[in-house]
Amino acid sequence: MVTVYCCAMFPLWFADNGLFINCQLANLSSTDHFLRYSDWISHGHAPEGEFLKMVPFLILSFDIECAGLKGHFPEPTHDPVIQHHPSSAFNSPLWTTNSGALVWNSSFLTVGSRALETKQCLLQGFNSFKHLKHAHARLLRLGLDQDHYLLNMVLRSGFDFGHVKYSHLIFHQTTQPNIYLWNTMIRGLVSADCFDGAIQFYSSMRTKGFLPNSFTFPFVLKACARRSDFYFGLNIHTLVVKTGFDFDVYVKTSLLCLYAKCGYLEHAHKVFNDIPDKNMVSWTAIICGYIGAGQYKEAIDTFRRLLEMGLTPDSFSVVRVLSACGKLGDLSSGEWIDRYITEIGMGKNVFVATSLVDLYAKCGQMMKARVSSMECMRRI
C-alpha cells in the first residue's frame, strides 16, 4: 500500500484516477499503481498561453509509506518503494519511484535554506567554541563537510578558540585539502606557538606535491626563526627563489627575520638591501638583528636612516632602539629619541616611557629617570 500525504497550493487533478482534489491537504492512497509526474495537472486542465511559463503546481511536503510482503521489511529491489535519485536526495530536487514516477523532494528546499543559513553563520563568526561545533555538525548533516571555503572558516575559528586538536581533526577528515587549507593549518599552528607542528605540516604539504605560495612562506619561515633552524630556513629560501617569490616584500621580510634571529647578519643585510619597498617590519627586523648581535651603534644608525626615509616607527621599534642606547650608554642619542617621541606623541605609551626610565638609569641620569618614572606612573 502506498500512502501519499500531499500538500499543494491549489486544486490538483489526477487524470488516470479521475480524482479531483480541491483542498490544501489530502490523503491519496492507491494499491495498484503509482502516481506519475504526468498525471499531476493543476486547475483541472493543461496550462495555456502565459501559464506555460509557470510551474503548474508546488508540492510542499510528502510522507510516503510502503508495505512489502507480510512479515518482511520492504526491499527496493523487490517491493515498490521509493528509490532515491543516484545523486542522492540532498543533491537532487526530485525523487524517483520504481515505476518511473517523479516526485519533488521537499527537503531539497529545506536543505538549501539551512546551508545558506550555515554559511551566513560562518561568515558572521561564533560566540563560543560550542557554537562552532554546532555549525560544524550542521555542515556534516548537510553534506557540506568537504566544502573547502566553509572548512577554512571552521579551521580558523578552531584556532581562534585555542582548540588546536579540533582543527587537526577536521583537517585530517578532509579528503582532498587544497593549498588554502594547508596554509590555514600552518598559520594557525604558528599563531599557537606550535612551531614544530607547523614545520611538520609544511613538510607533509611538500610530500603531497603542493607548492607553497606567498601565504605559506612567511609563516613557515617564522616557525624556523622561532626555532632558530637556519638550515631548514636556507632550504626554504632556495625554494623561494625557484618559485619566483623572492621579490615579495612579505616573504623577503620573513627571510630577513630568520637570518637576523639566527645571527647571520651578512645574509640578513643582503636580503634587506634587496627588498624594493621596505616597510616598518623590515626596518625593525634588521634593527633587532643588530641588537641581537651586539651591534648597538649599527642599530641606532639604522633607526636614523629609517626616519630619514620618512617612515614613522612603531612603539616596538622605539623600545628596541632605546634599549640599544642603554646598552651602549649613548645618552645623546637617547635624549634625541626622547625629544622625537615627545613630538609625535608616543611618550604616552607605557612601554616607551618605561624604556626611557631604563635608559636614563643606565646612563646615570637618575633625576631624569625619576621624572620619567613619575610621568609613567601618572599615565598609568
AA identity, residue 167: S
Q: Which of residues 105, 140, 155 is at a domain's end?
A: 105
Q: State the total domains in the chain.
A: 3
Strand order through the sheet with 12-14 = 19-21, 12-14, 40-42
| Dist CA 225 CA 205 (whole Å) | 19
For the full predicted model, state whether its pTM sits above 0.85: no
Q: Is residue 247 part of a domain?
A: no
Q: Is residue 230 part of a domain?
A: no
Same domain, 9 and 60: yes
| Dist CA 89 CA 310 (whole Å) | 63
Same domain, 86 and 33: yes
**Tell me, what CATH number does 350's domain have?**
1.25.40.10
Task: Give residue 349's Cα distance to chain centre.
Answer: 33
Domain that holds residue 336: 278-380
Q: Is residue 331 part of a domain?
A: yes
Q: Taking the CA of residue 223 as centre, how many other CA atoms within 13 Å lie in the half-sphere pointing to its CB?
A: 25
Burial 318-335 (b: 16+ CB within 10 A, else e): bbbbbbbbbebebbebbb
R_g (Cα) of the chain, nearest Å = 34
Mean pLDDT computed over 135-164:
90
Q: Is residue 272 part of a domain?
A: no
Q: Is residue 372 part of a domain?
A: yes
Q: Which of residues 132, 150, 177 is at a domain's end?
A: 177
Same domain, 9 and 46: yes
Same domain, 34 and 123: no
* Nearest in space to 55 (alpha carbons), one of 36, 44, 45, 42: 42
Same domain, 294 and 304: yes
Same domain, 116 and 159: yes
- Band of residue 19 on the pLDDT scale cut at 50, 70, 90: very low
Same domain, 321 and 284: yes
Q: Which grid cell sits at 372? A: 620619567
* Nearest in space to 40 (alpha carbons), one of 61, 19, 64, 65: 19
Mean pLDDT highest for which of 117-121, 147-151, 219-223? 219-223
Strands 19-21 and 64-66: unpaired
pLDDT of residue 243: 93
Q: Which of residues 49, 72, 105 is at a domain's end?
A: 105
Residue with the larger pLDDT of the pair 93 and 170: 170
Asked if 179 and 216 touch (Cβ cutoff 8 Å), the reply is yes
Is the per-residue pLDDT at 118 higher than 90? Answer: no
Percentage of the chain surpassing pLDDT 90? 47
Same domain, 151 and 99: no
AA identity, residue 218: P
Percentage of the chain surpassing pLDDT 70? 69
pLDDT of residue 75: 55
| Structure confidence by residue, pLDDT tens digits, 76-88 | 455 543 333 333 3
Q: Is residue 217 part of a domain?
A: no
Same domain, 101 and 111: no
Residue 146 CB partners (closer than 8 Å, separation 6+): 174, 175, 176
